[in-house]
């Protein structure tokens, strides 16, 4: 069996009993960085053959994982911290296994984004995980434009050397919003720092960050300048499905939904 195993994001005690059981039973372990994973295994006196599975060799590693599983070996896949696949290597492996019809399972555990959401005290009933922003400015602007009108709280990973640039990009794309920078989660110097995008995040930047940013405020709009078709399209671009887009358009314009549907049958 192949197991994708979540590992601690800081405090080594945050590993689960199931994770330890799986790692001890594994014949081989594929990890993002062998030097990092060996520290975790050594803390629990686990000694296993380690093989690299990172973004530069993931396709090759996936074939090795598949081959090992078909030989009857127990395989664990881990990343440096948290859940494999989520902003970490592993997704290519999952696709290869799915296409090959090879079963695999996941052992859940620590998660930086969800922990940061709790620590931020921003609305958590609905949220959207954005992950790391692209480093190229044009790609970053295009991505952020897609989320401009999202009303849910947004979760963004950021490396310490990128935090100031990322916050400035968020402000340029979305304007001022409440935010919270969470760092060193589960570690001795854990911090949760509320700020606004306009003022930026003060102080020296150390450790990996999760930026938790408030969603867009619902604004009153003058829909009369838009055609029915463009009105519906504006909601589709926000990520709504057609049914909900039509429903909101009808509400905004004070007409029956059937009238809107007739205008956008071809969408």
**pLDDT, position 260:** 84
What is the model's pTM?
A: 0.79
Strand, helix or coil for residue 150: coil
> What distance separates the 2 farthest-apart alpha carbons in the chain?
68
- Distance of alpha carbon 202 from alpha carbon 184, whole angstroms: 16
pLDDT, tens digit (0-9, with 9 covering 90-100), for 59-82? 999 999 999 999 999 999 999 999
64's tokens? 């090795």
Which domains does the chain possess?
2-107 (3.40.1010.10), 112-213 (3.30.950.10), 223-263 (no CATH)
**Burial category of 34 from C-beta neighbours within 10 Å (exposed 0-12, middle 13-18, buried 19 and up):** middle
- Phi, psi dihedrals of residue 76, rounded to the nearest 5°: -115, 140
Find tokens 């720092």 and name the residue.
193
pLDDT surpassing 70 at residue 222: no
Question: How far from 97 is each of 4, 26, 73, 80, 104, CA to CA, in Å?
Answer: 12, 18, 15, 21, 8
- CA 29 – CA 179 distance, rounded (Å): 38
Residue 220's pLDDT band (cuts 50, 70, 90) = low
Residue 15 CA to residue 147 CA, distance in Å, equals 34
Comparing CA positions, the residue from 215, 256, 209 lying closest to residue 238 is 215
Please give the pLDDT value at position 240. 79
Residue, of 250 and 115, whose pLDDT is higher:
115
% of the chain surpassing 70 pLDDT = 98
What's the confidence (pLDDT) of residue 47?
Answer: 97
């Amino acid at each position: 069996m192949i197991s994708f195993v979540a590992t601690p994001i800081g405090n080594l005690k945050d590993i689960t009993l199931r994770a330890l059981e799986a790692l001890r039973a594994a014949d081989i372990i594929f990890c993002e960085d062998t030097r990092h994973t060996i520290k975790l295994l050594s803390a629990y006196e686990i000694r296993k053959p380690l093989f690299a599975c990172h973004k530069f060799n993931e396709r090759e590693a996936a074939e090795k994982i598949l081959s090992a599983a078909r030989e009857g070996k127990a395989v664990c896949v881990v990343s440096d911290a948290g859940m494999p696949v989520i902003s970490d290597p592993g997704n290519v492996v999952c696709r290869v296994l799915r296409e090959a019809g090879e079963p695999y399972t996941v052992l859940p555990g620590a998660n930086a984004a969800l922990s940061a959401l709790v620590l931020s005290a921003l609305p958590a009933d609905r949220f959207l995980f954005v992950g790391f922003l692209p480093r190229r400015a044009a790609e970053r602007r295009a991505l952020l434009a897609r989320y401009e009108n999202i009303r849910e709280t947004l979760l963004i990973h950021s490396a310490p050397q990128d935090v100031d640039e990322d916050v400035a990009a968020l402000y340029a794309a979305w304007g001022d919003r409440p935010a919270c920078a969470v760092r060193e989660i589960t570690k001795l110097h854990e911090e949760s720092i509320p700020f606004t995008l306009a003022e930026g995040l003060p102080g020296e930047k150390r450790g990996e960050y999760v930026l938790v940013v408030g969603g867009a405020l619902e604004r009153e709009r003058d829909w009369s300048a838009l055609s029915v078709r463009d009105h519906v399209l504006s909601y589709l671009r926000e990520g709504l499905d057609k049914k909900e887009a039509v429903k909101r358009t009808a509400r905004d314009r004070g007409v029956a939904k059937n009238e809107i549907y007739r205008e956008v049958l071809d969408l």
